[in-house]
Amino acid sequence: MYQFEIEKADEGQRLDRYLALAVPALSRSAIQRLIRDGDVSVDGELTAPKHRVQTGERVSLRIPPPRAAAPEAQPMDLDFLYRDEHFVVINKPAGMTVHPAPGQADQTLVNGLLYEGVGLSGIGGVQRPGIVHRLDRETSGVMVVASHDEAHRKLSKAFAQREVKKTYLCVTAGKPRKPEGLIDTPYGRDPKHRLRFSGKVRSDRRARTRYRVLETMGPCALLEIDLLTGRTHQIRVHLSEAGTPLVGDELYGGGKRWKGVSWPPAKEAMRAMTRQALHAHRLAFQHPMTEQAMDFESPLPADFERLLEGLRSG
């Protein structure tokens, strides 16, 4: 059971949008189903997805128990960058959840892979077969999925030992002070906002992000990111706390930054980006079975290209 009290900063949001941000593991469509099924209440009363939340309201969200059965095979439009009997590499679109979770038992990447006849490792369990690493639902780009247990173990070890090169592209609202740098901080839950993570905490866990500015465009910048560790929300947190949140990132302060922009092309381009402008561009690693060097790149998706086009138009 999740329980939230609406804060002033969140007043006026649709209930389904608020909960989708509050519980990142669930898609907005999954949230809407839970609301319609009576699993969400506001001040003890059932309501509709379009309800506008008000300061002080108490929202309760009940997650039904996960299905014990294996995920169903479902047809989905998957973009395979590579496929063999050991693993597959996928170009994941923004908006796709990686694996079934409470509240969303279908229409995930795992369901689509099963439909395509991809063998999936059992190490991740019934709900997360083959999943070696994850991307946030609204992050697009390249990811690898293991087809059997031995490949899964070897790929997981490579990730854990920092032997996998992970490169991202992102657009920030604001420009970094330096053209390149390394952000190295402790990392953990934000004590003031339980939905967020932070690098301004006391923790033995560390997070390291290397960035390089590729281009500046009006009030924004295009960055290349080398992810040296793999903490939840790491890129989003580090850039936000550096004063340059990702364009479109509601949770970490980049969702409404377009309001302070006076230059019309940039303002419209930023407003049109309805998810965090973050793309997993490249994944390089050693083949788990043959030890051959593997290197995969994912092209920028259409919404990211439109954002860059709008920012460059001035």
**Residue 68 has what pLDDT?**
47
**In this model, does residue 43 exceed pLDDT 50?**
yes
pLDDT mean over 126-131: 67
Domains and their CATH numbers in the chain: 2-61 (3.10.290.10), 66-161 (3.30.2350.10), 167-280+306-312 (3.30.2350.10)
Per-residue pLDDT at 258 exceeds 70:
yes
Does the pLDDT value for residue 123 go beyond 60? no
**Contacts within 8 Å (CB) and 24+ apart, 294-300:** 294/82, 294/89, 296/81, 296/82, 296/89, 296/142, 297/142, 298/81, 298/91, 298/140, 298/141, 298/142, 299/91, 300/169
> Is pLDDT larger for residue 258 or for residue 243?
243
Of all residues in the chain, the percent with pLDDT exceeding 70 is: 94
pLDDT for residue 69 is more than 50: yes
Q: Are 122 and 165 within 8 A, CB to CB?
A: no
Q: Mean of the pLDDT values across residues 244-265?
A: 88
pTM of the model: 0.76
Q: Is 136 a catalytic residue?
A: yes
- Cα 72 to Cα 75: distance, rounded to the nearest angstrom: 10
Residue 29 phi/psi, 5-degree rounding, is: -65, -35
144, containing H or E segment: strand 140-146
Q: Which structure tokens are listed for 195?
A: 């939905």
Question: Residue 202 burial (CB < 10 Å; 0-12/13-18/19+)?
Answer: exposed
The predicted model gives 1-5 an average pLDDT of: 88
| DSSP letter for each residue of 28-97 | HHHHHHHHHTT-EEETTEE--TTPBP-TT-EEEEPPPPPPSSPPPP------EEEE-SSEEEEEEPTT--
Quote the percentage of the chain above a pLDDT of 90.
Answer: 59
- Inform me whether the pLDDT recorded for 145 exceeds 80: yes
Annotated active-site residue in 37, 77, 106, 136: 136
Residue 71 has pLDDT above 80, yes or no: no
Which residues 6+ apart lie within 8 Å of 56 measured at CB? 5, 6
Token pair of 215 as six digits: 């281009």
The DSSP bridge partners found for residue 294 are: 285
Residue type, 159: F
Contact (Cβ atoms closer than 8 angstroms) between residue 105 and residue 97: no
User: What is the gyration radius of the CA atoms in the chain, in angstroms?
Assistant: 20
Higher pLDDT, 260 or 70: 260
Mean pLDDT value across residues 272-280 = 96
> In the chain, what are the helix, strand and coil shares in percent, each to the nearest 5?
25, 30, 50
